[in-house]
Structure formats: C-alpha cells, structure tokens
Amino acid sequence: KPSQYFDRNFWVTFEDDAQGIATRHDIGIGNLVWGNDYPHHDSIWPHSMTTLDEVLVGVPDNERQAMVWENVMGLYNIDQTKL
C-alpha cells in the first residue's frame, strides 16, 4: 500500500504551517518533524519558540513532543540517555 511506503520512507517538516498541523492525523504524527530553518534569512528565528507555541495551540503535549523532538531522535537514531 502507498500509505505503508510513506510511513516507512517519508518525513514531513513544518515551521509555521497551521494547516499542516491540522492534517497531522492524516499525514501521521510519527512522520512530522518541526524545524525552524535557521540560519536562513527567511527562517522564523529568533521567534522560533513563540511561533511554535502559536502553531501548536490546542495540540496535546504527547503529540507536540513527538513532532518537536521525539520523531527526530528516532529518525537519526539518537539515544537520549547519551545527551
């Protein structure tokens, strides 16, 4: 199935995309990763945290944690105990 191929092979990033967050259950929360695009001139930095709070308003903490840091830790196979 195409959805299984997507789940195994694709990651979707977002910066300040409220519409993307609204479709997170269609995309799959496990495939979403937040990024602020620093140091590019058109990034949301230095307002990254404010923007993130605004775009994730109403999102449960467990989903927020997954999209903001847990998914990328899994993607890059980072052992949190070694940080």
pLDDT in tens, 70-79: 999 999 999 9
pLDDT value of residue 41? 87
Q: Strand ranges (DSSP E) for the chain? A: 12-14, 32-34
The dihedral region occupied by 30, where left means phi > 0, alpha psi between -120 and 50, and beta the remainder, is alpha
> H-helix or E-strand containing 52?
helix 48-55
pLDDT of residue 7 exceeding 90, the answer is no
pLDDT of residue 69 exceeding 90, the answer is yes
pLDDT value of residue 64? 97
| CA pair distance 51, 16, nearest whole angstrom | 6
pTM: 0.85
CA dihedral 62, 20, 36, 10 (to 10 degrees): 80
pLDDT value of residue 20? 84
Q: Each residue of 18-61: pLDDT tens digit? A: 888 999 999 899 999 998 888 888 888 999 999 999 999 999 99
